[in-house]
Structure 1
Amino acid sequence: MISIRNLSKKFGTKEVLHQIQLDYEQGKVYGIVGENGAGKTTFFRCIAGLEDYEGEISSDLTPLKNHLGLLLTEPFFFPKITGKEYLQLLCQARDVQISNMEDKNVFDLPLNQYAATYSTGMKKKLALTAILLQGNEYFILDEPFNGVDIQSNILITEIIHQLKALNKTVIISSHIFSTLSDTCDEIHVMNQGNLIKSVQKPDFAILETEIKQMTLGKKLDKLGLT
């Protein structure tokens, strides 16, 4: 379990997270939705120990960062490291030995090519493969489906289902509601740094309708399409 109590974060005088309280249980998949700038990525970076914050984040396994796989929206790669070397580097960071690296290449990536030359989708798939091979217990996936081809989206969805079956904890953000509906047990709605709603699976359809209504409003009418 990951327990979050009174989590707040400021950049200067601007508060980007306000008194967040959540519990993430083992064997469950959680989604987070919110507009750009709502605070989702900052929230993830706080959990991963990449940002200072006020409040408390605790977990059954400590330190949390040593058991957490974080997939960023735009993963970073050194300019002269191949895909294979990147996988080896992240596995070594967890003292995990992988002898048959090519067999683990489920996304069919060019592992002998420099990772910096990969497309956006390929970089995301490489970074995801790396945190999966580490054997983490907790996973944070920030927009894992964005920029990835449809075949890989299907595979990523099934990977998330398998992580759940293995009793892992998975937290996902996505602007594609259907991907969250297919994978999540619970969805949290974030707005301007505040957690404003938690929705269980039976009410996902209602939440989707609410999001559409809030997003569209009368904006289409303003276009005057005929």
Structure 2
Amino acid sequence: MIKINGLSKSYGKNEVLKNISMMFSKGKVYGIVGENGAGKTTLFRCIAGLESYNGEIISEHSPLKNHLGLLLTDPFFFSKITGKEYIRLLCNARDKSNLELESKNIFDLPLNQYASTYSTGMKKKLAITAILLQENEYFILDEPFNGVDIQSNIILIEIILKLKELNKIVLISSHIFSTLSDTCDEIHLLRKGEQIKSVQKSEFKHLEQEMKEITIGNRIDKLEL
């Protein structure tokens, strides 16, 4: 369980999260959606302990960050570290050793190559592999499908469903609504730092249509195509 009560976050006078309250339960996948700047990544960073905030975040595993696998939109890699060394570094942080990395390299990554030379999609797949092998209880995946090939996205969807089956908590942000429909049990909509609504799976189609109408409006007509 992760419970967020009255979470707010400001950078100077700019309030980017405003009194957010959410509850995440085991064995469920949650989507966090909203336009760029809505506060999704900031919310994830607060949960991961990377940002200070007002309010409280409660979890059954404490400290939460020691049980969390965090995939950032643009994962960071040291310049002189191979894919294999990167995975071992993250797994050592969770006291996981004696890994048979070759058999667990499901994305067929060149693990003996410097991670800094990887493509954007390869870097993301490397980071995903590492947090999975950490055996975390919670997972935050910030735009996991962006920049990744179709075949790997199919694998990633199945991984998320497997994590759900294993009773993990998974939080996802994505601008690709179909991936959320395929994986999520509940979606939370943020707009300008505010929590607008929470939607169950039966209402996903209505939410998608609402988001299209808000996003598109009469923009296409203005082009006079």
Distance 2:134 2:222 in 1: 50
TM-score by length of 2: 0.99
Residue matched to 1:195: 195
What does 1:92-111 correspond to in 2, within 5 Å?
Answer: 92-111=92-111
Residue matched to 1:40: 40
Distance 1:14 1:160 in 2: 34
Secondary structure of 1:160's counterpart equals helix
Residue matched to 2:51: 51
Paired residue type of 2:134: Q
When the two chains are superposed, the root-mean-square deviation of aligned CA atoms in Å is: 0.5
Paired residue type of 1:208: E
The Cα of 1:99 is off from its aligned counterpart by 3.0
The Cα of 1:98 is off from its aligned counterpart by 3.4
Is the Cα contact below 8 Å between 1:73 and 1:143 reproduced in 2? yes
- Output one character per residue of 1:128-147: Cα deviation in whole Å (capped at 9) or x when no partner: 00000000000000000000
Unaligned residue ranges in structure 2 (runs of 5+): none
**Is residue 2:124 matched to residue 1:113?**
no
What does 1:199-210 correspond to in 2, within 5 Å?
Answer: 199-210=199-210
Distance 2:22 2:212 in 1: 25
The Cα of 1:127 is off from its aligned counterpart by 0.3
Distance 2:106 2:25 in 1: 28
Secondary structure of 1:9's counterpart equals strand
TM-score by length of 1: 0.99
- Output one character per residue of 1:137-158: Cα deviation in whole Å (capped at 9) or x when no partner: 0000000000000000000000
Aligned residues: 225
Aligned sequence identity (%)? 71
Secondary structure of 2:81's counterpart equals coil
- Output one character per residue of 1:99-150: Cα deviation in whole Å (capped at 9) or x when no partner: 3111110000000000011010000000000000000000000000000000
Secondary structure of 1:187's counterpart equals strand
Paired residue type of 1:166: L
Runs of 4+ in 1 over 4 A off after TM superposition: none
Distance 2:43 2:32 in 1: 10
- Output one character per residue of 1:53-109: Cα deviation in whole Å (capped at 9) or x when no partner: 000001011110000000000000000000000000000000011331111100000
Secondary structure of 2:49's counterpart equals coil
Secondary structure of 2:95's counterpart equals coil
What does 1:176-195 correspond to in 2, within 5 Å?
Answer: 176-195=176-195
Secondary structure of 1:139's counterpart equals strand
Residue matched to 1:223: 223
What does 1:57-206 correspond to in 2, within 5 Å?
Answer: 57-206=57-206
- Output one character per residue of 1:149-191: Cα deviation in whole Å (capped at 9) or x when no partner: 0000000000000000000000000000000000000000000
Distance 2:130 2:32 in 1: 23
